[in-house]
C-alpha cells in the first residue's frame, strides 16, 4: 500500500503498490525536526484547528505580556534618555520577537497555502518510489540538500535562543565562585515598571528569569519549522525542475516509436507546468516572510556591530548574535539562488536534449513550449521589493556596514 498524508485534514490516502520497501517516505517521516518545529510552534498547517491555534497564540502573547510591556517601557525610557546603546540592544531583541509574532499569526491565517505546499512535497516524495533508478538517485542528491537546510534551522535557533539564559547563568556562576558580593544577571536587562526596585530580589528575580527563559525557548521551534520548510520546499522545486530535464532527455534517447515519445513528452510537459505552479505557490506564501527576514537581519547585524563598537571589545553574546543574523540572511539567499540556477539550467538541458534525432514535429513543439517557459527566470522575492540571490547578501552586508557607520557617527 502507498500512504499519502493530507496535511490539515487528518486523512490518509492509501493506494495499492508492490510490497517492496519504500526508499522515500512522507514529509513528516523524512523531515522530523521541521515537523516537530511546526507542531510545537503552533504553525503546523491543520485547517481543522485554526481557531484553537489562534486562541493558543493569543494565550501565549497574554502569558508573555509582562515581558512585552516591560520591553515597550524600556524602549520608551531609553529613547527619552537618548541612550543609543541600550536602545539598539533592546531593538536587536525586539525585532526578533516581532518577527516571531508575525510568523506565527501569518502561518495560522495562511494555513491553506502552507498546507498546499507541504502536501505537494509529501506526495511527490512518495511518488519518487515509483520512478526509475536514475530519477531516484537524482532525488537522493536533492534530499541531502534539503536535510542540510533542515539541520541548519534545527541548530541555529537553539544556539541563538539559549545563548541569553546560558550566558546569564554562566555569569552568575562566575560571580558566586569568585566574588564576595555576587551580582545577579538578567536574561535580558530591561526596565521593569512593576518591579523596578525589587527586580533583583527573590522571588521576583527568579520569576522574571523563568519567564524570560521560557520566552527564549518558545522562539526556537518557530524558526526550525517555517525557516526549515523554506529550505526543503525550494530544494524540492529544484528537483522538480531537474526532473523535467531528465524526462525530456530520457524521452528522446530511449523512445523507439512516436506513441511512446508523445506519452513521455506529455508527462514531461505536465511536470513542468506543476513545477511552475509550485514556484508561484512558494513565492505567494514565503514572500512576506522573506521581506521580514531582510529587514530583521539587516538591522540585527548593524545593531550588534554598534554595541561592540561602544564597548570596544568582542562580546561573546553580540558576536554570536551577529553571526546568527548573517547566517539567517545567507541561508535563504543560497537556497533561493539555487532555484534560479536550476531554472536557468533547465533551459540549457532542454535545448541540449537530442530532439534533432527524432523527426517528430509534435514532440519538438513541446520542447519549444517548455523552452519558452523556461526562459522566464524563477526569482524568489520579498513581496517584489527585494530579490533573493547572492547579490542581495552582498548588498545587505554593504548596507549594514553603511548603517553602522551612520549610527556610530551620531
- Residues 90-145: pLDDT tens digits? 787 778 888 888 899 999 999 999 999 999 999 999 999 888 888 889 999 999 99
The pLDDT assigned to 250 comes to 84
The pLDDT-based confidence of 1 (bands split at 50, 70, 90) is: very low
**Residues 6+ positions from 322 with CB-CB distance below 8 Å:** 300, 301, 304, 305, 308
71 is a domain residue: yes
CA gap 103, 43 in Å, rounded: 8
282 is a domain residue: yes
CA gap 108, 106 in Å, rounded: 6
DSSP state of 194: G
Least confident of 6-10, 65-69, 223-227, 377-381: 6-10
269 is a domain residue: yes
143 is a domain residue: no
Under DSSP, is residue 255 helix (H, G, I), strand (E, B) or coil? Answer: coil
Distances (CA, A) of 85 to 91, 92, 319, 408: 10, 11, 15, 10
Stretch (H or E) spanning 187: none
DSSP state of 227: I
To the nearest 10°, the Cα dihedral for 70, 71, 76, 77?
60
Stretch (H or E) spanning 81: helix 65-81
| Domain enclosing residue 360, as ranges | 2-31+40-117+154-408
The pLDDT assigned to 10 comes to 42
Domain count, the chain: 1
Question: Alpha carbon 264 to chain centroid distance?
Answer: 35
pLDDT of 18 strictly over 50? no
CA gap 336, 290 in Å, rounded: 10
Interhelix angle 316-352/361-374, nearest 10 degrees: 160
335 is a domain residue: yes
CA gap 384, 146 in Å, rounded: 25
Under DSSP, is residue 184 helix (H, G, I), strand (E, B) or coil? Answer: coil
253 is a domain residue: yes
How many beta carbons lie within 10 A of that of residue 230, not counting itself? 24
What's the rounded mean pLDDT across residues 376-383?
90
How many beta carbons lie within 10 A of that of residue 365, not counting itself? 11
The pLDDT assigned to 193 comes to 63
pLDDT of 186 strictly over 70? yes
**Degrees to nearest 5, angle at CA 401 with 400 and 407:** 90
CB 5 within 8 A of CB 43: no
135 is a domain residue: no
What's the rounded mean pLDDT across residues 45-72?
84
221 is a domain residue: yes
Q: Report which of 275, 245, 279, 227 is spatially closest to residue 348, judged by C-alpha positions.
A: 245
Distances (CA, A) of 281 to 99, 113, 218, 240: 22, 7, 28, 14
DSSP labels, 127-177:
HGGGS-HHHHHHHHHHHHHHHHHHHHHHHHHHHHHHHHHHHHHHHHHHHHH
- Residues 350-360: pLDDT tens digits? 888 777 776 77
Cell numbers given for 268: 514531461
**Degrees to nearest 5, angle at CA 201 with 190 and 207:** 70
Amino acid at each position: 500500500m502507498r500512504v499519502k498524508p493530507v496535511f490539515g485534514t487528518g486523512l490518509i490516502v492509501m493506494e495499492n503498490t508492490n510490497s517492496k520497501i519504500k526508499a522515500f517516505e512522507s514529509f513528516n517521516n523524512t523531515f522530523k525536526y521541521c515537523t516537530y518545529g511546526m507542531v510545537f510552534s503552533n504553525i503546523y498547517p491543520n485547517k481543522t484547528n485554526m481557531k484553537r491555534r489562534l486562541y493558543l497564540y493569543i494565550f501565549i502573547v497574554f502569558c508573555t505580556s509582562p515581558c512585552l510591556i516591560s520591553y515597550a517601557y524600556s524602549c520608551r525610557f531609553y529613547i527619552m534618555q537618548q541612550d543609543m546603546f541600550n536602545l539598539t540592544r533592546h531593538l536587536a531583541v525586539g525585532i526578533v520577537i516581532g518577527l516571531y509574532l508575525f510568523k506565527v499569526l501569518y502561518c495560522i491565517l495562511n494555513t491553506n497555502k502552507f498546507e498546499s505546499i507541504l502536501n505537494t512535497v509529501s506526495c511527490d516524495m512518495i511518488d519518487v518510489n515509483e520512478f526509475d533508478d536514475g530519477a531516484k538517485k537524482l532525488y537522493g542528491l536533492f534530499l541531502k540538500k534539503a536535510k542540510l537546510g533542515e539541520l541548519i534551522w534545527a541548530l541555529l535557533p537553539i544556539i541563538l535562543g539559549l545563548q541569553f539564559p546560558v550566558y546569564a547563568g554562566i555569569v552568575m556562576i562566575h560571580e558566586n565562585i569568585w566574588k564576595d558580593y555576587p551580582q545577579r544577571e538578567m536574561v535580558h536587562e530591561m526596565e521593569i515598571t512593576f518591579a523596578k526596585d525589587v527586580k533583583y530580589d527573590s522571588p521576583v528575580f527568579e520569576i522574571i528569569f523563568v519567564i524570560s527563559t521560557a520566552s527564549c525557548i518558545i522562539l526556537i521551534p518557530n524558526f526550525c519549522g517555517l525557516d526549515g520548510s523554506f529550505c526543503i520546499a525550494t530544494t524540492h522545486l529544484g528537483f522538480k525542475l531537474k526532473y523535467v530535464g531528465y524526462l525530456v532527455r530520457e524521452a528522446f534517447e530511449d523512445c523507439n516509436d512516436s506513441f511512446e515519445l508523445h506519452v513521455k513528452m506529455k508527462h514531461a510537459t505536465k511536470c513542468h507546468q506543476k513545477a511552475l505552479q509550485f514556484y508561484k505557490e512558494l513565492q505567494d506564501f514565503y514572500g512576506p516572510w522573506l521581506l521580514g527576514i531582510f529587514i530583521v537581519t539587516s538591522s540585527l547585524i548593524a545593531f550588534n556591530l554598534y554595541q561592540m563598537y561602544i564597548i570596544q571589545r568582542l562580546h561573546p553574546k553580540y558576536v554570536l548574535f551577529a553571526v546568527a543574523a548573517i547566517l539567517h540572511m545567507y541561508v535563504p539567499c543560497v537556497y533561493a539562488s539555487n532555484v534560479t540556477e536550476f531554472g536557468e539550467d533547465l533551459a540549457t538541458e532542454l535545448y541540449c536534449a537530442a530532439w534533432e534525432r527524432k523527426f517528430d514535429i509534435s514532440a519538438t513543439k513541446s520542447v519549444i513550449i517548455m523552452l519558452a517557459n523556461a526562459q522566464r527566470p524563477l526569482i524568489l522575492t520579498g513581496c517584489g521589493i527585494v530579490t533573493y540571490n547572492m547579490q542581495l547578501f552582498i548588498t545587505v552586508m554593504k548596507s549594514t556596514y553603511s548603517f553602522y557607520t551612520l549610527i556610530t557617527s551620531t
